Each structure stands twice: as structure tokens, then as C-alpha cells.
Structure 1
């Protein structure tokens, strides 16, 4: 048993999602594509020392902070780490959904991500040369899948999950972002 996955024994099938409900959700969105468009809302408040609490739905607030080298108190992952964990989780969800849809039973989904970031612009108060790109520039995703399918099938599942992942597409396609002081 992994410390990260206390509910899963190595080599055993992952707890399955409901294939019938997945098919019904897919059919619903095929029949009504506009019904699939949603608005996601979050609310974040600063708590000092770069600690920020974010309320998502009715869940416990999520703490996001910074490490000491970025003047934080190391109480939680930083924003980029949270984005990267969301990326991995979204890919994992897609892999499990696609595998379920294709009748593949998975026994392992493990995702390692490395990304490169230049923090020298330091929130607009550091090195502000025009060639600076705040944010992640390169992302390397390594996916370890095991299940009752051959390597070619597992590879296609991960490729399709990458193609259709909302978070991958958030990383790779420009989003329209506006801000306003209220």
C-alpha cells in the first residue's frame, strides 16, 4: 500500500467508476452540448505571509502558500505546485474514464510531472526584461499505467486523456482572462 493511496493495494484493480453513469453522462452531453458548459467559482482570501485560503464548493478550504525561498512559511503547496497537481489529477481522471469506456481495467495510474519556471520576475518587482515569461514554460509528464491491456492500448488511452483533459488544454491553449477591481 502506498502512503499516497491508502485505499489501493498494488496490483489490484483501481476502484472502478460507474460505467453506466459515465455512458449516461456522455450521452447527455452528446445530446445537449450546451448543457456541458459550466461556470466554476472559487473564493480566495489572503491570510498573510502569502497564505491564501480558497473555498471550493462546500469543501474544506484549500490552503496555498509559498516556500521559504519565496518568502512564505512553507505551510502548503505554492500556486504553481497546486496547478501542477491539478494537471496530474485531471489527466488521471481522464485516463480512468477512457479506460472504463473502453473496457480496460487499470491496476495503476501514477503520474510524475516536472515543469520549468523562471521566478526572476518575482511578481512584477524583480527582473522585468521584455523576454521574461512569468509562469511555467515547459512541462514534462510521465505516466505509468498498468492494467489488463497491451502497452499500445494503454499508450492510446494516455494520449487521448492528454488530448481531452480540460487542465491540459488550460495549459496549452490561451484562455481569455479579465480582471477588475471591485
Structure 2
């Protein structure tokens, strides 16, 4: 997810009615490979039509045996319009947790999603300031207490109580610029926001 950026011309609409945002040309519109001109057009489109601000994601997960599951991404929605995409994400547990160790486990995927989301924000914010990055790494870790998951002690939560992360960033920016970017990422990254505050989980059970 990318943070807001005020500027540049408006969006176009494809023949199917799905809003499209043209990529900027490589000379003037990019920094660190990031399409600044395209980001500006997205912001312009959202400012001119607030309905375009709604971005919706959906993932369908199916158990495939033992502790393995496969999740399918088939589309997302931007401003109410469906955008086709197709990806498969596998998950499994390590053998010491009774799995087949064929893929990252759900906790590792959760942390990966946090790191990746923050990385996009660091790149976008640095690029907007004209900073060329030479390095960006994010290491995140957290500990769970299995007594909570196994319901051996109801006073122990099954999830993380905290996550610890280290960001290593380098480039031609000043230390003050990088500190300001870091603070801005903490305010603008969707996944950081999701994991750092309570959200409403609306579930429904269907027995078939």
C-alpha cells in the first residue's frame, strides 16, 4: 500500500470500466523504480472522486491436508470495480509443530505481510523526497506462548503481545530525512495500523 501524494493528472478508465493509472516514463516519473507520476494520478483520481478511495481485498483459503492450506487471490476492488489478479499462497507448519514444513507458516506470512507493506511505504516516501535508496531491510520477530493456543492457561493470550522490528535503510538522504520517513511510515502503513490497534472481526460459520 502506498501513502498519499498530492499532484499530477487524473486517472483513465479502461474499456471494461475499470479505472487505470498509466505508468510514468522512466526518466522523469520514477525514483527507486517507483512510479511517482502514477502515484500522483491515483491521488488526483481519489481527490476528484472520493468513491475511488475504497480498496477492497479478498483471499479464499482451503485446507489441503495435515497443517497445509492454500490461499487464492483472484481479484481486488478499486472504487467498486473488480481488478483480476491470480496468485496462490501456500502455508504449512514446521515438522516440530506437526506440519510438513512445505511452506512458511501463518505467523511467518503475517510478519512478511507487515514487512512488505512497510517496505512499500519507505520506498514511496523516500522516492517522493528524491532520495535514492541503496539499502532497505526490515527484520521483525515476535514470540507466542503455546499455553494460550493450546488453552492450557486461559489467562494467556494465543497471539503476540508485541512485535519487535529493526529497519535498516541507506541512501543519499540525511539522517533527519530518514527519521522523518520512519515516523511517517508508522502513521501511513495499513498493515502496521492493522496490527497496532484493535479491529472488528466479523465472522460467520457455515456448516455443510
TM-score (norm 2): 0.74
How big is the shift at 1:15?
4.2
The answer on 1:78 being equivalent to 2:105 is: yes
Match of 1:22 among 22, 39, 63: 39
> 2:4 matched to which residue of 1?
none
Q: Which moved more, 1:56-65 or 1:93-102?
A: 56-65
How many pairs were matched up? 166
After superposition, residues 1-182 of structure 1 pair within 5 angstroms as 15-57=32-74, 58-122=85-149, 125-129=150-154, 131-182=155-206
- The answer as to whether partners of 1:23 and 1:101 remain within 8 angstroms in 2 is no
- The structure where helix makes up a greater share of residues is 1
In structure 2, how many angstroms separate the alpha carbons of the residues matched to 1:34 and 1:117? Answer: 40
How big is the shift at 1:39?
1.9
In structure 1, how many angstroms separate the alpha carbons of the residues matched to 2:162 and 2:71? Answer: 27
How big is the shift at 1:32?
3.3
Q: Which moved more, 1:42-51 or 1:58-67?
A: 58-67
Unaligned stretches of 5+ in structure 2? Answer: 1-30, 75-84
In structure 1, how many angstroms separate the alpha carbons of the residues matched to 2:143 and 2:86? Answer: 31
In structure 2, how many angstroms separate the alpha carbons of the residues matched to 1:43 and 1:134? Answer: 23
Give the number of the structure whose alpha-carbon radius of gyration is greater: 2
**Stretches of 4+ moved more than 6 A in 1?**
none
- The structure where strand makes up a greater share of residues is 2
TM-score (norm 1): 0.84
Residues 16-71 of structure 1: CA distance to partner in whole angstroms, max 9, x if unpaired?
A: 11111111112222333442122211110001111000001233311011112221
- The answer as to whether partners of 1:19 and 1:100 remain within 8 angstroms in 2 is yes
Residues 77-123 of structure 1: CA distance to partner in whole angstroms, max 9, x if unpaired?
A: 1111100000000000000111111221111111111112222223x
How big is the shift at 1:150?
0.8
> 1:11 matched to which residue of 2?
none
In structure 2, how many angstroms separate the alpha carbons of the residues matched to 1:33 and 1:132? Answer: 43
